[in-house]
Amino acid sequence: MRISQYAIELAFTITTLALAAASVPQITVTDVADEDSNCHDIASSDACRSATDLESGAECVWCECAAVPSLCVTADEAKGLPAGVFNCDATASRVASPVISSQLAEDVAARSTKNTADAAHGLRGAFGTADAVDPKITSSRTYNFGARTVGHVGGEVDKSFCDADSSGKSYSGYVDLSGSAFDVDESKNYFYWFFESRSEDPSKDPLILWLTGGPGCSSTLALLTENGPCSVNAEGTGTVPNPYSWTEHANVIWLDQPAGVGYSYGTTNDKNEEMVGEDAYYFLQTFFQQYPQYAKMRLFIVGESYGGHYAPAIAHRTWLGNKGLKDGLIHINLAGLGIGNGLTDPHIQYGYYAEMAYNNSHGIKTVSEAVYEEMKSATPLCLQMIQTCNNLKTDFVCQSAQTYCGAFITSPYYASGLNPYDIRKECGDAALCYDFSNVEKFLNLDSTRDALHVTSESDSTWVTCNNDVNRQFAGDWMLDYAPFVADLANDGIRVMIYAGDCDFICNYMGNKAWALDLEWNHKEEFNAEDDKEFLDGGLVRVFQSFVFLQVYEAGHMVPSDQPEFSLAMIKEFMKDDIEVFV
């Protein structure tokens, strides 16, 4: 069985869920209020109490907490903070709630320290460095999209490097996304690796954009460990074919994003899905300008793990782009959205961690009954804090939700020593439960970088996941992207949510719950459908082209744990019929 990628990815953020209690979030603040300040920029209680919010003109209110960072907010925002956690100034129009107990604060700090150590264990390792070489660039072009100019460098990849027996072409390279709606001075260069399908006529097959989560983890690792046309041999010196590659039925782009991930490089300031969606949209525009033969293909955007944030955001931005198409831009034939063991609606999904830990379909008690009860009792406050995060959408509040929920909802599972991506397995001593050293060795070879047109500007050692990028998204983690899915489904875009039933961290219970809770035009009809067996490998519920699939005997990485089934699953989802899985 091939080991897969996303053992690393969610761990970087899940293990940092509790870090804020041990250290103040990395947000630029000021201790002195001035006429240019707003409430969220103020770090001290005295300055907050004397300030007025610049944007709204509202009074600033100091909300104190012992267990997570205290914060300065407007009076209206203070009303929405969870009672029992924050003690806000009496100037707020509600009665101040008691400060959370000092014992709880100590518990959070203690659990945070353990998680920090776990994260450090996962990151350590001596990966050899490789001097970047200047590859032979076969293509270098610039495209102008109104106010934004992007460029492309790259070229064809020799077939002997990966998937030698296929007649389809392979390309890799960079899209330069310098200048954007957020910062015209930024520099971002996104690396991609593309393969045509293995079929006799790839032009008749759809196109998949694959997105790894993390945030901060490389899609190139997924290519080489999950659903790509080749995997890396044990020695890390070459590749071997993967008979269950998704390129059996589709043309596929594996994209390293945002900047700083994998071979991608440049300004690493992306911190939310608006920025991710914007950059990925212009990546697609440039890709189709560079390779117009693929521009009319039906496009399916699929994300795994934190890709449950990425994929809906990118698909939604693409959908909006099609609705208001500007001169010079291409209409993208968006056909479907796929989410595999994803985090999409935290407010729903965090309600199912305790049950997955103790009452899962495999009958595995991963925690004691006492710990299970503790997780259950902590869940209501966790969900309240997540809801407050989505109401206020400020980094302070969202990081506080991350901190509390991580310390009391997910950390108890980590203490069990079990693999959070597969409840059937021990974690062991490998970094974050999985060993990817052969892949890291292979992708840092000079010969590999040369073959993939990796530029000399990408001079750092390739790593599975970039923890700096991960931390940038701390305020994004608890945000709900299910409404984007509803918009797409209401407009006839196919949606498939699939989840291996042995995964704890993005478990099938929570994923099915948000799929059933989703407010879309055919919610009632979808919820009334029965779950049915699909190829003896899982349970599927479908109405028209909206699908939820529980995959048997698979953990967090379905294409790795059930490669043959996952290939059949994606083929069925993409088939050129009005209805699927029927």
Can you give 153-212 as a three-state secondary structure string?
A: EEEECCHHHCCCCCCCCEEEEEEECCCCCCCCCCCEEEEEEEECCCCCCHHHCCEEEEEC
Q: Is 435:3 a contact under the CB 8 Å cutoff?
A: yes
**pLDDT tens-digit series, residues 425-435:** 999 777 678 89
pLDDT at residue 40 in the model:
79
Buried b (16+ CB within 10 A) or exposed e, 137-164: eeeeeebebeebebbbbbbebeeebbbe
Scan for tokens 């901060």, then name that residue: 216
Question: β-strand 239-241 against 60-64: which pairing, if any?
Answer: unpaired
Dihedral pair phi/psi, residue 388, rounded to 5°: -65, -40
Residue 407 to residue 423: CA distance in whole angstroms: 19
Per residue, the 3-state secondary structure of 33-69, as one string, reads: CCCCCCHHHECCHHHHHCCECCCCCCEEEEEECCCCC
Residues 6+ apart with CB under 8 A from 524: none
Greatest mean pLDDT among 125-129, 214-218, 228-232 lies in: 228-232
pLDDT of 245 > 90? The answer is yes
- Residue 355: band (very low, low, confident or very high) from pLDDT cuts 50, 70, 90: very high
Model confidence, pTM: 0.83
- Residue 128: band (very low, low, confident or very high) from pLDDT cuts 50, 70, 90: very low
- Residue 357: band (very low, low, confident or very high) from pLDDT cuts 50, 70, 90: very high
Give yes or no for a cis peptide into 206 (omega within 30° of 0): no
300: left (phi over 0), alpha (psi -120 to 50) or beta: beta
Residue 578 to residue 42: CA distance in whole angstroms: 54
Give the least confident one: 195-199, 236-240, 403-407: 403-407
Sheet holding 60-64, edge to edge: 71-74, 60-64, 87-88
Higher local confidence (pLDDT), 148 or 412:
412
Higher local confidence (pLDDT), 582 or 21:
582
Higher local confidence (pLDDT), 100 or 473:
473
Residue 48 to residue 200: CA distance in whole angstroms: 66
**How many other CB atoms sit within 10 Å of the CB of residue 582?**
10
Q: Report the mean per-residue pLDDT for the chain.
A: 83
Average pLDDT of the residues in 170-179: 88
Average pLDDT of the residues in 56-79: 80
Query: What are the start-end ranges of the H helices in 234-339?
Result: 273-290, 307-323
Greatest mean pLDDT among 152-166, 181-195, 437-451 lies in: 437-451
Give the least confident one: 12-16, 110-114, 511-515, 539-543: 12-16
pLDDT of 445 > 80? The answer is yes
Point out which residues pair with 533 in neighbouring strands. Answer: 539
Catalytic positions are 305, 503, 556
Residue 293 to residue 276: CA distance in whole angstroms: 25
pLDDT at residue 92 in the model:
45
pLDDT of 95 > 50? The answer is no
pLDDT of 66 > 80? The answer is no
Give the least confident one: 33-37, 67-71, 92-96, 123-127: 123-127
Higher local confidence (pLDDT), 308 or 126:
308
pLDDT at residue 50 in the model:
84
Strands (E), 65-161: 71-74, 87-88, 139-145, 148-156
pLDDT at residue 57 in the model:
82
Residue 8 to residue 433: CA distance in whole angstroms: 8
Higher local confidence (pLDDT), 145 or 407:
407
